[in-house]
Chain A
Amino acid sequence: MSYMTNVTLEEVQHLATLSSLQLSDDEATSLSRDISNILDYINQLDELDTEGVEPTYQVTDLSNVWRDDVAVDSSVSREELLSLSKDQLDNQVKVPKVL
């Protein structure tokens, strides 16, 4: 079955922006084809009547599982965590300017 979904290059670039992905033009073009094909496939769900059905987000019905409100020391030190970052200054992670 085909619904012939067509996701334009402009829409792909919008999705890339929403996803914080800076795509090359070539990849954006091939992704517009891929995403159209995937949407074509998942659109088959329209055939299923879900009127009045409640959604399921969590399958084992657990909700709000709390631990005791007691501070627990991490096995990982601040220095170890900081060392994972590529650029640091004065015990902080350094990034380029925001604007």
Chain B
Amino acid sequence: MTINDILSSIEAGKMTARQAVEAALKKADETSEYAALLSLTSERALNRADEIDAKLEKGEDAGRLAGVPFVAKDNFLAFGAPTTAASKMLENFKAPLQATAVEKLEQAGAICIGKANLDAFAHGGSTENSAFGPTSNAHDKTRVAGGSSGGSAVATALDVVPFTLGSDTGGSIRQPASFNGVIGVKPTYGTVSRYGVVAMASSTDTVGCFAKSVDDAELVMEIMSGRDDKDMTTLGDVMDSAKAVKPVKKIGVISDFMNGDVDNEVLKITEAYVEKMKAAGYEVEPVSMPIIKHSLAMYYIIVPAEVSSNLARYDGVRYGHRAEGIKTLAELYGKSRDEGFVTENKRRIMIGSYVLSSGYFDAYYMKAQKARTKLIDKYKQLFESYDLLVSPTAPTPAFKLGATGDDPVQMYLADAMVVGPSLAGLPAISVPAGDTPDGLPVGVQLIGWRETDRSLFAVARKVEEVANDN
């Protein structure tokens, strides 16, 4: 069901908010073998549904999403269940406040029914790094969900709820969206407040969503976006419907991602999507972006640096896991962090410490931030001639659980196509473009210049409409 299906059923009196929530909870239970969710907030959700039903009965305005159930990735602080970030560190952490994004959705009448699995602290591209076990792909249980927002993508694909929340620091919404055949939105940096979302890399962290229709995704982004005094990086009106957005005419296909390094089925499906774009009346041509091949190296310097800083707060003192049988404060820090973090967290923290340490700072961290300027300049130059860029979202469809073994670099390569827009703060969405002969979904990534988020939805919608008409 889409958001609009639920809203119109409730409006027509065919369904109550309580029934919508009960149906979602039932679906969550029936699909529990996929391990998409870490917890349910059943009691609170049902109480909220009753409040909304009471309002509706009295003819009061209950909001634009009145009675629509959703799921938040478990790195969003929310009431009704612990906020774990899929880590032992926060296994028992009861959030004393809610994320602004969750608050805004609740004010609009939406109802959070549970929390979705992720790679611990959002570090990973498969959800295999969850301290509580991996999530299975919605289309093939032997394959990964993608990540880090794997649980959210799978919960959307399995139709537990019409939309879910995710965070995208370097592809964590777009890549699992591609792997599970749903829409995944990473907005312009600063579109949605990150207040109350477990911080990973502050210069690229964004809040976005998964949905099954372009309309639903756009509506959810519209409700969540806006300035928040509690996150000073937020911009004013990215999703404002009054905001003028230049119509898209010319589209560039990033040719650096259309070669032999990419899975053949992914290439074919992307090419077919490009044909649909042409059929929809867009002028599409290949563009070359040589610097993009270095974006992953930049990302895996800058992001670990910020991770090492942001995760310094987990010291076992004020909240989170505290090791037992400890004699000194230094030991308390060291043991609590050793026990509370998964290996990938430790890798990133230590790489961060490495690239920031004296002697290596200029060679790694500063070098990467300069390279980032060059990457942004290249995007800027391309967007002078093109209104939109396109590429596959990921180099392959969902891979097998355990396929990357314990080689972190193999896992990082799954992010090759999605980190560029993150480093440049650009909006990018992954839209389902087709399935491989094995039935695995493949997504295509649409990228815009900053604050042109609405254009991405407009193009995705038009391509969908034209394709449906033919």
Interface residues of A, Cβ cutoff 8 Å to B: 12, 15-16, 18-24, 27, 30-31, 34-35, 37-48, 50, 53-60, 62, 65, 67, 75-76, 80-81, 84-87, 93, 95-99
- Known contacts A40-B409, A50-B374, then 16 further A-B pairs from the complex at CB < 8 Å, ordered by chain A residue: A18-B357, A22-B335, A27-B343, A34-B408, A38-B412, A53-B374, A56-B369, A56-B372, A60-B188, A67-B229, A76-B97, A85-B318, A95-B317, A96-B326, A96-B332, A97-B327
Q: Which residue of A lies closest to B344 (CB)?
A: A34
Q: Separation in Å of the B462 CB from the closest CB of chain A?
A: 28
Cα distance, A21 to B322, chains bound together (Å) = 13
Looking at B35-43, B210-218, B291-299, B389-397, the stretch in contact with chain A turns out to be: B291-299
Asked if B328 lies at the interface with its beta carbon under 8 angstroms from chain A, I say yes
Asked if B147 lies at the interface with its beta carbon under 8 angstroms from chain A, I say no
Q: Pick from B352, B366, B425: contact of A55, CB below 8 A.
A: B366
**Pair B373/A45 contact, Cβ less than 8 Å:** no
Cα distance, A97 to B300, chains bound together (Å) = 37
The 10 tightest CB contacts between A and B, nearest first, are: A22-B334, A59-B425, A55-B369, A50-B370, A84-B319, A65-B232, A53-B370, A20-B333, A18-B353, A76-B96
Chain A residues near B232 (CB, 8 Å)? 62, 65, 67
Cα distance, A15 to B274, chains bound together (Å) = 47
Interface residues of B, Cβ cutoff 8 Å to A: 93-94, 96-97, 188-190, 203, 229, 232-233, 235, 291, 294, 296-298, 300-301, 308, 312, 315-319, 322, 326-335, 337-338, 341, 343, 346-347, 349-355, 357, 364, 366-374, 376, 406-409, 412, 423-425, 450
**Pair A20/B315 contact, Cβ less than 8 Å:** yes
Cα distance, A27 to B347, chains bound together (Å) = 11
**Pair B354/A44 contact, Cβ less than 8 Å:** no
Chain B residues near A35 (CB, 8 Å)? 347, 350-351, 354
Q: Separation in Å of the A96 CB from the closest CB of chain B?
A: 5
**Pair B351/A38 contact, Cβ less than 8 Å:** yes
Q: Pick from A22, A38, A56, A97: contact of B338, CB below 8 A.
A: A22
Cα distance, A58 to B425, chains bound together (Å) = 9
A-B contact list, 21 entries, CB within 8 Å: A15-B350, A20-B330, A21-B337, A22-B338, A35-B350, A37-B408, A41-B412, A42-B368, A44-B294, A45-B371, A58-B203, A59-B189, A60-B233, A62-B233, A65-B232, A67-B229, A75-B97, A84-B93, A85-B318, A87-B322, A99-B328
Q: Separation in Å of the B107 CB from the closest CB of chain A?
A: 14
Q: Pick from B188, B318, B333: contact of A93, CB below 8 A.
A: B318
**Pair B94/A84 contact, Cβ less than 8 Å:** yes
Instruction: From A75, A95, A98, A99, name the one whose CB has the most chain B CB atoms within 10 angstroms.
Output: A95
Cα distance, A6 to B232, chains bound together (Å) = 41
Q: Separation in Å of the B119 CB from the closest CB of chain A?
A: 16
Chain B residues near A44 (CB, 8 Å)? 294, 297
A22 in contact with B331 given A34-B408, A44-B297 (CB within 8 Å) = yes
Chain A residues near B312 (CB, 8 Å)? 20
Q: Which residue of A lies closest to B202 (CB)?
A: A58
Q: Pick from A48, A76, A86: contact of B322, CB below 8 A.
A: A86
Q: Pick from A40, A60, A93: contact of B317, CB below 8 A.
A: A93
Chain A residues near B329 (CB, 8 Å)? 95-98
A80 in contact with B96 given A48-B294, A62-B232, A96-B332 (CB within 8 Å) = yes
Cα distance, A12 to B350, chains bound together (Å) = 8
Q: Pick from B346, B352, B424: contact of A27, CB below 8 A.
A: B346
